[in-house]
Amino acid sequence: MPRLVIECKSYADLPYASILAGDSVSLLDKWLSELSYDCDPEDVGILCFKTNRKPWLIAFPIMYQDNFQLTGYTIYGQYVITGLENFLMVNHQSLKKICALIVRTMGNEFI
């Protein structure tokens, strides 16, 4: 049964320039690996993360990119990273549709 899996992380600092350049960032790689481990193949996994004095960001699999309206994003491996606040303001209806699809697929089974 598919699930929407959301993991949230916080850390003092991340090398944002490296993320934007597409360079590997070990802590971000670790978080994404943990998210992947916690997801079954049919799940939709989302990582929300924040560092001190910086806004929240969201990372989601690139295969869902066409479902959302995005501005100011970067591609990091197989993930799209963008600002969480703007993402939610612009895409809350799309997220509701994805959640509704997951709930319909699950039927009466609740997690």
Q: Residues 66-111: pLDDT tens digits?
A: 989 998 999 999 999 999 999 999 998 888 887 777 766 655 554 4
Matching residue, tokens 């001190």: 52
User: What would the pLDDT profile of 5-43 be if each residue is shown by its tens digit?
Assistant: 899 999 999 998 898 888 999 999 999 999 999 988 888
Between CA 37 and CA 27 the distance in angstroms is: 15
- CB burial class (10 A; 0-12, 13-18, 19+) of residue 19? middle
Between CA 104 and CA 98 the distance in angstroms is: 10
